[in-house]
């Protein structure tokens, strides 16, 4: 069997959102403990699959590190580092480029979304992205990966790479990693469009709550969030055809550590005129301390760099022997 080990990552490709917090960061912090080793990575090599200004990328990598720590990821309990500092990720990704099939890559919905009609003129890295993600995970022989819904297909590809490698080389070298997609906020939606996920790359700032938004901005975005005019029902079943309403209830539930049905039991019969200010209140109460702590960490970039450097040393201690063994199996 494989040692229980949790791995996950976030791209430093823009300001982080409430979706990243509820779908990822909050859960990363909660998973720290004695059950499994936790390895968390700021995946700067992934961010580069679309153009990044070098100085902005460096700053956003630090800002992501600050967001991890402000959300409760402890760099002593967990290993916190950035991908480009541990060369095993890039090396393993090349090995997996020889295992994974081109057709697997073209089937990825994230690739189709990001490439759009321009699929011949995007970076080769954007297409190969899932092979690097498989490398991130399997270089630690990670047994579980907490992610949001949007990453489910990439994680299936990671499992396919592990299974094909094990089969082709006749070994049991890589675990078939389990996705941990749990809770009310596995897919936080845009505040402007209930059919799109909340994303740092959405051109509309009103569509998302940023971890750096102040209380007024949060309250205003929630007040203007698209909803309908109907009163709230007593349970989630009643919101089947109301995606915007469902999204706000899910966000409230995730912030307050309640189930969506518990939230609705309290707000049954009320409209959004009553619900939105209550949601703004829990959102501000949760995010204000995180925003403040992020600012404090960002006041000392040298300390962030020191923490990431330490994390990279610890990550490399796990990754290097697994990479060496992988090369050996492959005849390298
Ligand atoms: P983004 O999609 O915002 O660029 P990343 O690709 O870096 O973010 O994803 C980082 C983590 O945050 C992943 O686990 C992803 O599933 C999660 N995540 C991103 N957006 C959302 C969302 N709207 N709801 C829930 N989880 C999300
Ligand atoms: Na994503």
Q: What's 271's domain CATH number?
A: 1.10.240.10
Amino acid 183: pLDDT: 87
From 77, 117, 196, 197, active-site residue: 197
Same-domain pairing of 230 and 306: no
194 vs 150: CA distance, rounded Å: 15
Centre of ligand 2 from the C-alpha of residue 125, in Å: 15
Whether residue 122 is contained in a domain is answered as yes
Task: Give domain status of residue 200, yes or no.
Answer: no
- Quote the pLDDT of residue 201: 85
Atom from ligand 1 closest to the CA of residue 20: 12
Q: What is the pTM of this model?
A: 0.96
Residues 235 and 94 in one domain: no
Indicate whether 285 and 307 sit together in one domain: no
- Structural domain span for residue 240: 205-295
Residue to mutate (ligand 1; options 8, 10, 20, 196; most atoms within 8 A of CB) = 20
Check if 200 is active-site: yes
C-alpha 21 – ligand 1 centre gap (Å) = 8
283 CA to centre of ligand 2 in angstroms? 22
Write down the pLDDT at residue 118. 85
- Catalytic residue flag (residue 276): no
Is residue 199 a part of any domain in this protein?
A: no
Residue 117 known to be catalytic: no
Q: What is the mean pLDDT of each run of 10 residues along the chain (332 residues)?
A: 96 93 96 93 97 97 98 98 98 98 97 91 97 98 95 98 98 98 92 93 94 97 96 96 96 96 97 97 97 98 98 98 98 98
Instruction: Enumerate residues with CB within 5 Å of ligand 2 (an ion).
Output: 150
Residues 307 and 291 in one domain: no
């Amino acid at each position: 069997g494989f040692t229980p080990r949790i791995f996950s990552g976030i791209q430093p490709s823009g300001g982080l959102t409430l979706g990243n917090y509820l779908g990822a960061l909050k859960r990363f912090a909660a998973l720290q403990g004695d059950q499994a080793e936790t390895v968390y990575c700021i995946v700067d090599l992934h961010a580069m699959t679309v153009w990044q200004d070098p100085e902005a990328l460096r700053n956003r990598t630090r800002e992501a590190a600050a967001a991890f720590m402000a959300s409760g990821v402890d760099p002593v309990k967990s290993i916190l580092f950035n991908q480009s500092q541990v060369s095993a990720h890039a090396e393993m990704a090349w090995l997996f480029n020889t295992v994974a099939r081109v057709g697997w890559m073209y089937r990825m919905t994230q690739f189709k979304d990001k490439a759009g009609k321009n699929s011949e003129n995007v970076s080769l890295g954007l297409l190969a992205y899932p092979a690097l993600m498989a490398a991130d995970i399997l270089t630690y022989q990670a047994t579980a990966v907490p992610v949001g819904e949007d990453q489910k297909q990439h994680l299936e590809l990671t499992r396919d790479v592990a299974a094909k490698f094990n089969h082709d080389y006749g070994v049991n070298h890589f675990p078939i990693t389990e996705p941990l997609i749990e809770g009310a906020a596995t897919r936080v939606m845009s505040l402007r469009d209930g059919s799109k996920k909340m994303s740092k790359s959405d051109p509309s700032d009103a569509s998302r709550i940023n971890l750096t938004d102040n209380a007024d901005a949060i309250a205003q975005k929630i007040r203007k969030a698209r909803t309908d005019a109907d009163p709230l029902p007593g349970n989630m079943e009643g919101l089947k055809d109301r995606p915007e309403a469902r999204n706000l209830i899910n966000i409230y539930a995730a912030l307050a550590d309640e189930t969506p049905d518990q939230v609705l039991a309290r707000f049954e019969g009320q409209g959004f005129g009553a619900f939105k200010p209550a949601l703004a209140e829990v959102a501000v109460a949760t995010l204000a301390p995180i925003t403040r702590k992020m600012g404090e960490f960002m006041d000392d970039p040298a300390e962030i760099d020191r923490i990431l450097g330490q994390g990279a040393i610890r990550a490399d201690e796990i990754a290097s022997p697994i990479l060496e063994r992988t090369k050996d199996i492959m005849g390298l």
